[in-house]
Amino acid sequence: MYKNIEEFNSKIKSVLITEEEIKAKIAEAAKEIDSWYDGTPILLVSILKGAFVFMADICRAVTVPCEIGFMCAQSYYSGTQSSGIVNITMDLEQDITNYHVVIVEDIIDTGRTLNDVVKLLKARGPKSLRIVTLLDKPARRVVELKADVTLFTIPDKFIIGYGLDCGEYFRNLPYIAEFKEEKN
């Protein structure tokens, strides 16, 4: 917990992607999504919590009719290694067999969790399934996974803002920033 706004702001090392840059890329991504479906309704699926801000902006930017759905997926980690177990703590309410599904993701890091979510959703037989990610951090990838649309590719830094958090804080920043970690 932060004692005051100064302490909170002291954790923002530098802005990596501005609010204006995010807005411009969202407009481009929405046009691409619209072109895929040419007016055919889609289901936008967000993996909570980090992608909720991005999902809201994508949902408002696309012109094709869309529904939204949310999932929560947790990976159990021991240190920096995944156990390989993904637990779905909140699942979609929709039967997706009649939908073109677009997963709207905040960041692809190791790719483990999203890879398992993709397998799960593909097994449910959607008409199509694509991935749109705000951020891609390929330096950390441990599974073969590629988004259909990536707005920004970033270096291996701990980032915050625009839905991404550190200890549940910083999601409200309108930009992407590098988190200033304490040196021991």
Q: Which residues are catalytic?
A: 109
Element (H, E) at 160: strand 159-160
β-sheet bridge partners, residue 128: 100
Alpha-carbon gap, residue 148 to 18, rounded angstroms:
23
All residues at 6 or more sequence positions from 123 whose CB lies less than 8 Å from its CB, including other chains? none
Amino acid of residue 13: K
CA atoms lying within 13 Å on the CB side of residue 112: 15
| Nearest Cα to Cα of residue 135 among 99, 113, 160, 118 | 160
